[in-house]
Chains A and B, each alone.
Chain A
Amino acid sequence: MQMPVALSAYATDVDKSYYIIYWLSVVLFIGIIGAATYFCLAYKRKAGVRAEPTGHNNILELSWTVAPVFILAYLFWIGWKGYVDMSIVPPNAIEVRGRAFQWGWDFEYPNGAHTPDLKAPVGKPVKLILSSNDVLHAFFIPQLRIKRDTVPGMYVSLWFEADKEGDADIFCAEYCGGKGEGTAAIGHWAMISKVHILSVADYDKFILEGGGAKPGESVPDWGKRLYVEKNCAGCHSLDGAVGAGPSWKGIFGRTGVMTAGPDIVADENYIRESILEPQAHIVKGFGPVMPSFKGILQDKEIDAIISFMKTLK
């Protein structure tokens, strides 16, 4: 029952509480079960030997009612103290917005850049302002020992200060459903992302370059990068193979058959609508599993994706 690697001072602090309870439990468990086992062996029923009548021992009874009160008060205290540390956000924290949706994450940085995985500098406090686009989710990083439910219609916040560089997993810890069949199914279990703890220099570089095409990158190339980074690639292939969603091969200008309503030619407006309101028109043969990218993809980014699509003949 070992805790995972701790990436922050706060995590180490949680571990202290954890191991105090752990060893306390081990001792109590051995005490109770040891005594019970000994009694079972020593007082096994023997012919002709009767049980001794139960007596009273008020001191014993009182002490095992009162002694736990002190232990419990102590546990409460260490838990609360650690929790309070966690609740007070340092005023100089970098603010990053985190949005949860069915089924993914979107992080928005002060420079306007968006990523599906979280980037944070080492040794600096980062405040996450979390929200949800649809149902409840929960933002959970085991290595940092932090967790917070994201609630639609409400902002909650959370902070951390990692003290080591490296990658750690982000999970969704509050059940949020699932859809689709077979290998194309997606849901709660797939809301796994990563936090990359970068050196301050790398993080600053990311902030300088992020939020648009990189210097020297063409718009279609930027669109291609978004295709990978925003995980469109998870459902849409470029080579004609059918995945959870239709392939993007030759998508621009092709006529699509919908489950309801007339056929639609994939022009700029339709593609934009498909990205922002994917359930408005559903391509025949597919399920309504594509998440909306409203608030996640910016207009400029959608334009870049469309110009990338135009290159896919």
Chain B
Amino acid sequence: MNTQAQPQAGHHDDAMLNTNYLKAGSGWKSWAFTLDHKRIGIMYLVFVLAAFLTGGIFALLVRTELASQGHTIVSGPTYNKLFTLHGAIMVFLFIIPSVPASLGNFILPMQLGARDVAFPKINLLSFYIYLVGATFALVSIGYGSVDTGWTFYTPYSLHDPEAATKVLYMTAAVFVLGFSSILTGLNFLVTIHTLRAPGLTWTRLPLFIWGMYATSIMQVLATPVLAITLLMLIFERVFGLGIFDPKLGGDPILFQHFFWFYSHPAVYIMIVPGMAIVSELIATFSRRVIFGYFAVAMSSLALALVGFLVWAHHMFTSGMSEYANMLFSALTFLVAIPSGVKVFNWTATLYKGSISFAPPMLYALAFLFLFTIGGLTGLFLGTLNVDIHLHDTYFVVAHFHYVMMGGTVIGFIGGILYWWPKITGKMYNFTSASVGAWLTFIGFNVTFLSQFVMGSRGMPRRYYDYLPEFEQLHRVSTLGSYILAVGLFTTAGTLIQSLARGRAAGRNPWGSVALEWQTQTPPVFQNFEETPIVTRGPYDYHLATDEELREDLYAVDPAK
């Protein structure tokens, strides 16, 4: 099955297929019932960004409460809900779907030279499943919200019948969201296998595609485990089966095994797409093939594989046997190898490149900086005796924020800025985008470097109040979070300004040789007027003519 699927055939005439996808159909129905992967990607983008904003507001409330000792703005139990919502929203509604569902949906078929994903209807279905899941989450918040932390650890999450009902709603939300994730993963796998344009061999696949491929495998294999776990939790609650609750003869540690069996791979579901974007950015803005292309591609798959074997490193203090701890510590160190390989290869790609510092590249470089810190601090946590001290302290909080926010989110924003002109047809202001990038970078480091310090000194996480010796560092961290917020809002403002008044972007503003830049801006409904025939790799800048490398930031023809 090497030909292209023609999902819209019959519904649209040829002229329609070759008009700007934003103008192919108007009115809300043309969005709500669209099967176009680009529009679905945009709808996802809007919702995941809304989730990011919501989760971010909760984060700011948490940081504000911690700005001084004792009661600052909310009471202890409210604080517990705030950090739970921050975590649950960021993980399940934002980061997990973020890159694959939004940019993945938009860009993946274009990079393949395909007209759409393999199953456009399932694609729309998965979007609506996401909305249903999000609604459940809102209902749970409306009922007064959960306070279990995003990990829902038993028996606390089953402890009090009143709270447990809210936990049910929240877990139901996560359960439903899981299906959206599985369907997207499945769709991408089939698309990558069957809809590559002629000439697009596996060794010519963009690294973004390789990343999406690895992510999809994890989504399809790991998410069902989460669904099973949550189902067991729901059954335990509703029918009183003793699975996790010691009062009913269950085992609370079993829940942790199940939970992390999904949630560790989920960490890679989150970070691999970020890495995938960064590979694209570094190649494009250094104008070079990624050094060790094959190693970078395979390291995504290696992460997907090893990611399944290390879940219990979240449980070194939980009372597992010493030998289990030994095994999981050893396996955890294996993860460092593919991550290290990526970092080394990205760095080497810069060597003798032709490096531009356009805003997307600033994010790629920020990623390199922050992810390196995130990765190196992981070494502390994999080392058994050191982890015993650092576990469940702010050190861990800082570590995973460096990876998830400093990695994935920074990569995601970089990706948005990179593909923005293609998606919207508009250019944005470079100065304010760069200011946003710098503020985000500085604010981020101020927020979380101080948390490493607190954590190594023993400040436990999820504390509403703390001992006086930590106040200074908490203040610094809160200040950093405000700088970070200003940076993010600056970026958001830049993009909104671009939508409202940005100049029309050119076809290939970055002078990229990758396939998705070769079509119109914004792309036509069927992506390419004719099925492209791929004759070289996505980063073969050395084979490109000077004309191909010209950066047409702005469309010459304003009528376009």
Contacts and interface: CB of A to CB of B under 8 A. Distances in A.
Interface of A: 1-4, 13-14, 17-18, 21-22, 24-25, 28-29, 32-33, 35-36, 39-40, 43-46, 49-54, 60-61, 64-65, 68-69, 72-73, 75-76, 78-84, 86-87, 134-136, 138, 140, 142-143, 145-149, 151-154, 156, 169, 171-183, 185-190, 192
B246 to A, nearest CB: 3
B288 interface: yes
Nearest to A36: B347
Given A69-B337, A145-B389, A136 B155 contact: yes
A24 B336 CA distance: 14
A235 to B, nearest CB: 14
Interface in B421-460: 452-453, 456-458, 460
Given A68-B336, A79-B384, 9 more contacts: A39-B347, A51-B288, A53-B541, A54-B349, A82-B385, A147-B317, A180-B76, A181-B75, A189-B465
Given A33-B369, A43-B355, A185 B350 contact: no
B372 A140 contact: no
B235 interface: no
A3 B460 contact: no
A119 B8 CA distance: 75
Interface stretch (B50-58, B318-326, B411-419): B318-326
B147 interface: yes
Contact of A189 (B291, B355, B383, B464): B464
28 contacts: A2-B457, A24-B379, A25-B376, A28-B376, A35-B347, A36-B368, A44-B355, A50-B287, A51-B287, A51-B542, A64-B341, A79-B382, A80-B326, A83-B385, A135-B159, A145-B388, A147-B392, A171-B458, A173-B460, A178-B79, A178-B80, A181-B77, A185-B76, A185-B464, A187-B77, A189-B463, A189-B464, A190-B465
A13 B385 CA distance: 9
Given A147-B388, A177-B147, A182-B71, A53 B542 contact: yes
A4 B319 contact: no
Contacts of A146: 388-389
Given A79-B329, A147-B391, A189-B463, A39 B319 contact: no
B252 interface: yes
A300 B332 CA distance: 51
Interface in B378-400: 379-380, 382-389, 391-393
A14, A18, A175, most chain B CB atoms within 10 A: A175
Contact of A43 (B247, B329, B352, B467): B352
B330 interface: yes
Interface in B140-177: 147-149, 153, 155-156, 159
B466 interface: yes
B225 interface: no
Contacts of A153: 246, 252
How many chain B residues sit at the interface, stated as a range, is: 35 or more
Contact of B318 (A25, A149, A171, A183): A149
B356 interface: yes
A61 B333 contact: no
Contacts of A65: 295, 337, 340-341
Nearest to B253: A151
B33 interface: no
Nearest to B368: A36
Interface in B48-78: 71, 75-77
B215 to A, nearest CB: 22
Contacts of A83: 322, 325-326, 384-385, 388
Contact of B388 (A86, A176, A183): A86
A40 B149 CA distance: 41
Given A171-B460, A178-B80, A134 B336 contact: no
Ranked nearest first, the 5 interchain pairs of A and B with the lowest CB-CB distance are A142-B458, A82-B385, A79-B383, A153-B246, A39-B350
B149, B326, B376, most chain A CB atoms within 10 A: B376
A278 to B, nearest CB: 14
A163 B176 CA distance: 54
Given A53-B289, A153-B246, A39 B353 contact: yes
Contact of B337 (A54, A68, A154, A178): A68
Nearest to A145: B389
B7 interface: no
Contacts of B549: 50
B398 to A, nearest CB: 10
Interface of B: 71, 75-77, 79-80, 147-149, 153, 155-156, 159, 246-247, 252-253, 286-292, 295, 317-319, 322, 325-326, 329-330, 333-334, 336-337, 340-341, 343-345, 347-357, 365, 368-369, 372-373, 376-377, 379-380, 382-389, 391-393, 452-453, 456-458, 460-467, 541-542, 549
B57 to A, nearest CB: 21
Contact of B333 (A39, A43, A72, A86): A72
A42 B452 CA distance: 33
A172 B460 contact: yes
A33 B385 CA distance: 28
Contact of A173 (B148, B290, B392): B392
Given A25-B376, A36-B368, A180 B71 contact: no
A86 B316 CA distance: 13
Contact of A178 (B77, B350, B466): B77
A190 B76 CA distance: 10
B379 A75 contact: yes
Contact of B77 (A13, A21, A46, A179): A179
A24 B382 CA distance: 14
B376 A29 contact: yes
A146, A147, A154, most chain B CB atoms within 10 A: A147
Given A14-B386, A175-B462, A43 B246 contact: no
A40 B355 contact: yes
Nearest to B81: A178
B377 A39 contact: no
B385 A186 contact: no
A3 B345 CA distance: 33
B235 to A, nearest CB: 20
Nearest to A171: B460
Nearest to B147: A177
A175 B156 contact: yes
Contacts of B337: 65, 68-69, 72
A2 B333 CA distance: 23
B385 A86 contact: yes
Given A151-B319, A185-B75, A61 B347 contact: no
Contacts of B452: 1
Nearest to B341: A65
B111 to A, nearest CB: 20
A27 to B, nearest CB: 10
Nearest to B336: A72
Contact of A142 (B318, B341, B372, B457): B457
Given A75-B383, A76-B329, A153-B246, A43 B353 contact: yes
A1 to B, nearest CB: 5
Contacts of B383: 17, 21, 75-76, 78-79
Contacts of B355: 39-40, 43-45
Given A169-B458, A176-B156, A189-B464, A76 B147 contact: no
B286 A43 contact: yes
Contacts of B291: 54
Contacts of B379: 21, 24-25, 72, 75
Contacts of A52: 288, 352-353
Contacts of A72: 333-334, 336-337, 379
Contact of A134 (B75, B153, B159): B159
A177 B156 contact: yes
B382 A75 contact: yes
